[in-house]
Amino acid sequence: MSKKEPMPYKALVNVYEALAATTKRLEKTRILADFFSEIDAELLPIVTILSLGKVYPVWSRQEMGVGSQLLMKAVAQAVGVTPLEVEDQIREQGDIGSAAETLFQKKSQITFFKKKLTIEMVYNNLRKLATVSGNKSQSRKINIILELLSSASPQEAKYITGTVLEELRVGVGEGIIRDSISEAFGVDKNFLDRAYMLTNDLGLVAKVAQSEGDEGLSSLTLKPGKPVKPMLAKLADSIKETVSDLGFLYCETKYDGIRVQVHRQNSEIKIFTRRLENISNAVPDVVEYINQALPQDDFIVEGELIVTKEGKPISFQYILQRVRRKYDIDKLIKEVPLSLYLFDILYFQKPLIDDPLEHRRKILENIINPVKGYVELSQQVKVTMDNVEEAEYLFEESVKLGHEGIMLKDPQAPYIPGIRGKKMLKYKSEPETLDLVVVGGTYGRGKRAHLIGSYLLALKDENGNLKTIAHVATGLDDETLIELSKRMEDLVIERKGRQIKVEAKIILEIAYSEIVKSPEYESGYSLRFPVVKRIRDDLTLEDIDTLPRVDSMFKNN
């Protein structure tokens, strides 16, 4: 479609409706591919990110900063009801978008201007929310949202409000977007996947695919400032077997902390978590030590942030306190000191991810000036079958110091973002765990009637749909139960007696004794004796475990 006239927001809403009406991945891909093929080059990046229900990429520091309470006030003003009535409608409908649609259909007090909404207008207004701060910021944000809602149809209101809270509910993830771009512009999926891996920018990838095809995609590369998804590890069955298979390995301590990616771009240092959140402002001490330990050139290095006390790592939850903190940071720096152990480098003056690990590690070793106790290299041994006992000793010593175990890495392997393969394995002191999302819960009885005592857990199937797999009721102390119960209250979408359904936001790491077949849960599996190991606020919904993985684990046991 030409750029003669701005594209109406209703065109995108029609696509959302079509996507929500099917659960079939191929059908969703076709719907989006047809739509993308009609969009001009300037609008395509906007449409791409809006299709994910976002206006900013995860790694951006910008955020709309609108919570559910503020949005309920905006909807209430738009349709002439009280925020309490909006909240009641959310309980009845299950989410803010459906509630807004229902209320707009019933609106009687407001005369709308009927200004025609365009895609760019909606996008620009929502991005404007991130720029509002200071005095009367809440009322100013409400006015920005009202500017859209005052001209919105019920369906448009549904998707505007869903986008504000990033709760679009049309069943589209990054994989479907990538497939749609490939189909729309006839580009090779391998080029496209690699381009996305290296840029982490679907809007840019879509625009280049449209205008420059495979050749343009192949020229996109890694740049400091934009994080890439981390290379992932599979579980090793044994140290000796892995060394025997690969012949030569790098073995490193597996630190029990938060994996981070550190970028230097000109004079600015940015630190991203595994979920690609920029936490630089929360850890200024780490930024300063990195500045001391590494050169002034542009780079991307990877490592693990841990909290130590008397030389041993302490609870993972202390690290989460640090990276979440927005206030009183100086006080927490002293109370919760962080150490960074670096183990890989992805960029130094140029991209390095296609280089073998052996070469990357040498570069890292050559450029680092360790700051003892604050920024150091990961502990590593080089192992063949002739000295396999060194790997076993490193494992034992790492566990004694309170770490998780060791990593076993192929020195000849390139860095492959977002891929879990045999080039990097983990060997842990405890059995494998699953990262699962909470989708519901059950309140206790008696003195614990105000606490959620049992949590309903889900994983993702091959199409990204959530499927339940277990209830878990053990592994949480009273303090954590109180915290989780409060967080769950803010996420409730349905109540029935003591049971609730919640938005899929809270991720738990679950240990268990066995995976078994079970018709009780939607996945077809259940977990015997599940126990909560920890809350995984460092992960996103994209990171939770999948049904194909559980299928594989069940068949291999």
Of the listed ranges 38-52, 105-119, 445-459, 507-521, the one predicted with least confidence: 105-119
462 shares its domain with 482: yes
- Write down the catalytic residue from 141, 254, 270, 423: 254
Calculate mean pLDDT across residues 213-222.
95
Tell me the three state secondary structure of residue 538: coil
pLDDT in the model for residue 557:
63
Q: What angle do CA 25, 31, 36 make, to 5 degrees?
A: 120
196 shares its domain with 284: no
In a domain, 292, yes or no: yes
In a domain, 59, yes or no: no
314 shares its domain with 373: yes
In a domain, 548, yes or no: yes
- pLDDT tens-digit series, residues 480-499: 888 888 888 888 888 888 89
- pLDDT tens-digit series, residues 112-151: 556 789 999 999 999 999 998 888 888 999 999 999 998 9
DSSP state of 414: P
**pLDDT at position 108 over 60:** no
In a domain, 74, yes or no: yes
Closest of 124, 77, 125 to residue 104, by C-alpha: 77
Q: How far is CA 363 from CA 184, 295, 355, 406, in A?
A: 41, 12, 11, 22
Boundary (domain end) residue, out of 394, 428, 462: 428
Q: Are 450 and 485 in contact (CB under 8 A)?
A: yes
- pLDDT tens-digit series, residues 66-76: 888 899 999 99
What is the 3-state secondary structure of 262-313? EEEECCEEEEEECCCCECHHHCHHHHHHHHHHCCCCCEEEEEEEEEEECCEE
254 in catalytic set? yes
Tell me the residue range of the domain where 442 lies.
434-556
Domain count, the chain: 4
**Tokens matching residue 142:** 């409400």
Calculate mean pLDDT across residues 16-23.
93
**Tokens matching residue 327:** 């206030």
Boundary (domain end) residue, out of 428, 463, 488: 428
214 shares its domain with 236: no
Model confidence at 235, pLDDT cuts 50, 70, 90, reads confident
**CATH number of domain containing 16:** 1.10.3260.10
In a domain, 58, yes or no: no
